């Protein structure tokens, strides 16, 4: 017999059959949940009960469940990823809740992230921004020596801080304007700081910013909700770098 104390929780989950269908909150009871369950494991338990009773399970995105891939995308009690600092929803554990709690679970809310079904949204707009310029062009052939291009340690550290972005979309979901400025700025700043990225810097920033706007994302108005919601702690200083790079690019 298990010694773990269990919880019973009330879940209000957003259910929506498809992109063009109306959605609504439906109420479920999560029983037998321990503090050791992750948030997604808790939903797994609820889904098992739904399947056993012949009902359709809750559809949600997930993959690695280790806070790496950026697939999990849920707004928990009004906050993307649940509000625990630098934590994806897959790494949110039920020890943060108590018996009898009521939890509201929604998908990302952003114009550029249309709902596909239930808690799953289409985040391909982020892929479109990356395709516009989030890369460096290079000749194929032999791999250059790792030390052939010298990179100062401060620049490498700065680029790595920006590269931590996992593209989950929490920044756009948290922003009242539905802006992707934090995501785009992280990708632009990462390459702008390195010698390999400087050659195409002007073309890159213009293409990515214009594509971001075309995808339906709003602009930044300095609410800083993006930084607060980011599970990797991406700093808004990269948005300042993006703005500087964009202004410089206008004169090239």
Q: What average pLDDT score do residues 5-30 get?
A: 96
167 and 232 co-located in one domain? yes
Q: What average pLDDT score do residues 112-136 get?
A: 96
Buried/exposed 197-220: b ≥16 CB within 10 Å, e otherwise: beebbbebbbbbbebbeebebbeb
163 and 130 co-located in one domain? yes
Q: What average pLDDT score do residues 171-183 get?
A: 97
79 and 130 co-located in one domain? no
pLDDT number for residue 116 = 97
pLDDT number for residue 139 = 75
List, for residues 185-199, the tens digit of each pLDDT value.
999 999 999 998 999
What rounded mean pLDDT belongs to the chain? 95
98 and 129 co-located in one domain? no
128 and 163 co-located in one domain? yes
Between CA 70 and CA 126 the distance in angstroms is 12
Q: What is the CATH number of the domain that holds 217?
A: 1.10.1060.10
Residue bearing tokens 């700043």: 189
Q: What average pLDDT score do residues 74-92 get?
A: 96
Q: Is 225's pLDDT higher than 90?
A: yes
Sequence-ordered alpha helix ranges (H) in the chain = 39-52, 124-133, 153-163, 170-174, 181-192, 195-198, 201-214, 225-229, 237-249
List, for residues 16-27, the tens digit of each pLDDT value.
999 999 999 999
Residue 78 — pLDDT band, cuts 50, 70, 90? very high
88 and 153 co-located in one domain? no
183 and 241 co-located in one domain? yes
213 and 94 co-located in one domain? no
Q: Domains in the chain: how many in total?
A: 2
List, for residues 99-121, the tens digit of each pLDDT value.
999 999 999 999 999 999 999 99
Q: What average pLDDT score do residues 167-196 get?
A: 96
Which range of residues forms the domain containing residue 34?
6-106
157 and 244 co-located in one domain? yes
Q: What is the CATH number of the domain that holds 46?
A: 3.10.20.30
Residue 193 lies in a domain: yes
Residue 142 — pLDDT band, cuts 50, 70, 90? confident
98 and 11 co-located in one domain? yes
Residue 235 lies in a domain: yes
Residue 1 — pLDDT band, cuts 50, 70, 90? very low
Residue 113 lies in a domain: no
Q: Is 180's pLDDT higher than 90?
A: yes
| Nearest Cα to Cα of residue 57 among 115, 134, 119, 7 | 119
Share of the chain above pLDDT 70, in %: 99
Residue 117 lies in a domain: no
pTM for the complete prediction?
A: 0.93
Residue 44 lies in a domain: yes
203 and 240 co-located in one domain? yes
Share of the chain above pLDDT 90, in %: 91
pLDDT number for residue 2 = 54
């Amino acid at each position: 017999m298990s010694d773990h104390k269990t919880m019973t929780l009330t879940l209000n989950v957003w259910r929506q059959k498809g992109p063009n269908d109306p959605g609504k909150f439906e109420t479920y009871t999560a029983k037998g949940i321990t503090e050791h369950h992750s948030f997604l494991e808790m939903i797994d338990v609820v889904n098992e009960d739904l399947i056993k009773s012949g009902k359709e399970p809750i559809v949600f995105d997930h993959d690695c469940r280790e806070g790496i891939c950026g697939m999990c995308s849920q707004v928990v009690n009004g906050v993307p990823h649940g509000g625990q600092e630098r934590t994806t929803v897959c790494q949110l554990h039920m020890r943060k809740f108590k018996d009898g709690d009521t939890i509201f679970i929604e998908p990302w809310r952003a114009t550029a992230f249309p709902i596909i079904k239930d808690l799953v949204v289409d985040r391909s707009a982020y892929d479109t921004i990356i395709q516009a310029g989030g890369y460096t062009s290079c000749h194929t052939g032999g791999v250059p020596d790792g030390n052939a291009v010298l990179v100062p340690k401060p620049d490498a550290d700065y680029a790595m801080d920006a590269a931590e972005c996992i593209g989950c979309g929490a920044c756009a979901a948290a922003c009242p304007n539905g802006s992707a400025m934090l995501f785009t700025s992280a990708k632009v700043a990462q390459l702008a700081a390195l010698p390999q990225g400087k050659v195409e810097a002007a073309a890159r920033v213009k293409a990515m910013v214009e594509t971001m706007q075309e995808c339906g994302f709003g602009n930044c108005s300095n609410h800083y909700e993006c930084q607060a919601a980011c599970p990797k702690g991406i700093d808004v200083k990269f948005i300042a770098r993006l703005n500087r790079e964009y202004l410089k690019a206008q004169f090239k």
